[in-house]
Structure 1
């Protein structure tokens, strides 16, 4: 029998994958993370929320290791981040020892509220951007 977390994860990811993400990917100034599909090798773009601090971009994955983009990062940490309509290349780092809940308090409020609401396994991700 599926747990509440499993049902929540399935419902939210289905909504994101089929409705929200296709719309958000088309908005030119929506922040997005581009990973390389671990099986297909194709670029995979995911709308994300986070904040640039210096030469790093910080974000929190609501489903941690279950997030497809986290699994793609684990296979290949080379990513691109779209900030303000411009793409930046970088290397992503998964930070399980970082306090993801505290990190959310430093990131944009609207996205952080959604991540806290639907998230079940928060994981901090830092992308070191290239100049």
Structure 2
């Protein structure tokens, strides 16, 4: 990882953790991904931008396996996703072989633009929904 991408990761992560996420988590229709903290065991809710396609929900992590929610998924793939105000249980699968840049073109534009602008290591994540 280059010094520039490391600095970018730290700045974006701090902004998301302390400013953007606390605000957007409270919005009733904001899509949320709930993982289990790999150290604490507590539920961790992260605002995400993605799209449901059939029984799958697709997102792209802008920092790949450096994203905390991806690290939580790697430790425990059982997740919940709140879509349109309704919670769904599922199993998350990071897909490093998927073309994340192409995937972003099929996801919501605003979020995809932010992921492209701020991301340094894109990674597709598919959640297979159980209900």
Instruction: Give the whole-Å Cα distance in 2 for the aligned partners of 1:113 and 1:73.
Output: 24
Instruction: Give the whole-Å Cα distance in 2 for the aligned partners of 1:45 and 1:59.
Output: 14
**Residues matched between the structures, number:** 130
Instruction: Give the whole-Å Cα distance in 2 for the aligned partners of 1:6 and 1:112.
Output: 21
| Correspondence list, 1:1-131, <5 A | 3-131=3-131
Instruction: Give the whole-Å Cα distance in 2 for the aligned partners of 1:22 and 1:110.
Output: 19
Structure 1 residue 118: Cα displacement: 0.1
TM (norm. structure 1) is 0.98
TM (norm. structure 2) is 0.98
SS of residue paired to 2:12 = helix
Regions of 4+ moved over 4 Å: none
Residues 38-67 of structure 1, C-alpha deviation per residue, up to 9 Å, x if partnerless?
000000000000000000000000000000
SS of residue paired to 2:57 = strand
Instruction: Give the whole-Å Cα distance in 2 for the aligned partners of 1:87 and 1:68.
Output: 21
Structure 1 residue 28: Cα displacement: 1.0
Structure 1 residue 127: Cα displacement: 0.1
Residues 87-122 of structure 1, C-alpha deviation per residue, up to 9 Å, x if partnerless?
000000000000000000000100000000000000
Instruction: Give the whole-Å Cα distance in 1 for the aligned partners of 2:79 and 2:120.
Output: 24
Q: Report the aligned-residue RMSD.
A: 0.7
Instruction: Give the whole-Å Cα distance in 1 for the aligned partners of 2:111 and 2:123.
Output: 14
